[in-house]
Amino acid sequence: MVRNGFYRVFFGGTAYTSTSIFVLKDGQLLGFSFQGSEYTGTYAPDPVRKLIRFEIAASMPPGVMLVTGQKVGAETAKIKMDGEAPIPDPTSRFSFDLAGKSVDVAMHYMRPLL
């Protein structure tokens, strides 16, 4: 079962590591990073496989360097991030592909919603 609540998410690539905060609630998610990136999307748990399937649309501000070392151009970049991950209990570690480069992720459940 995926708990509704706040999650701290670490993204690691070849350039650096970034921290974001996500809120998951009843199949919907949203998040933000300290670099100004915003995330919206959906998730669906698969309790048999103990996985969560996610579809995320990320909005990256101009000039931001991604953890993979790629730099966002002069306009906001819209990036699709889809995949599967172990259900956080309380932590989940996985990787996904971003424009041909691997991104390592650690997602940690922090607390319930108010």
Domains and CATH numbers, the chain: 5-111 (2.40.128.380)
Instruction: Residue 36: name the closest of 89, 81, 72, 80 by CA.
Output: 72
pLDDT in tens, 28-86: 999 999 989 999 999 999 989 999 999 999 999 999 999 999 999 999 999 999 999 99
CA distance 63 to 46: 37
Decide: 38 and 31 in contact? Cβ < 8 Å.
yes
Residue 114, C-beta contacts closer than 8 angstroms, at least 6 positions apart: none
Decide: 85 and 43 in contact? Cβ < 8 Å.
no
Residue 6 has pLDDT above 90, yes or no: yes
- What band does 16 get if pLDDT is binned at 50, 70 and 90? very high
